[in-house]
Amino acid sequence: MGKRDRYTFAATFSEQKRFVGLPPDEFCLYVPLALLAIFLNMWIFGPTLLAAVVGIRHLKKGRGSQYLLNLAYWCLPTSVMRFFISILPDSYKRHWVA
């Protein structure tokens, strides 16, 4: 491994990691629902997957790729978000700087 192969940089700022063609936040929601639909019950998890796809596309329309993570940080309880974000302070501790 040469010095030039050590680091990889995105060609643009808007280029992001993708898994199976999906951004990470969508991948974490769609893949488990799809697997549940395939292996357990298509009639329950199929419509749930469809609703998740439509809902997430509607929420993210015109916003950044990390919008769902930011929304979860501000809206979900701290105990849930500690699983995803451990470095940031609790969202309820807001300090206004004047």
Q: Do the domain assignments include residue 6?
A: no
Per-residue pLDDT of the chain (98 residues; tens, 9 = 90+): 556 666 666 666 666 778 888 887 788 889 999 999 999 999 999 999 999 999 988 988 888 777 887 888 888 888 887 776 777 777 777 666 65
Burial of 49 (0-12, 13-18, 19+ CB in 10 A): buried
Helices 67-75 and 42-60: angle between axes, nearest 10 degrees:
100
Q: Do the domain assignments include residue 55?
A: yes
Q: Do the domain assignments include residue 98?
A: no
For residues 87 and 19, what is the distance between their CA atoms, to the nearest angstrom? 24
Q: Do the domain assignments include residue 13?
A: no
Q: Which domain holds residue 51?
A: 20-81
Number of domains in the chain: 1
What pLDDT was estimated at residue 10? 62
What pLDDT was estimated at residue 18? 80
Q: Do the domain assignments include residue 65?
A: yes
What pLDDT was estimated at residue 63? 82
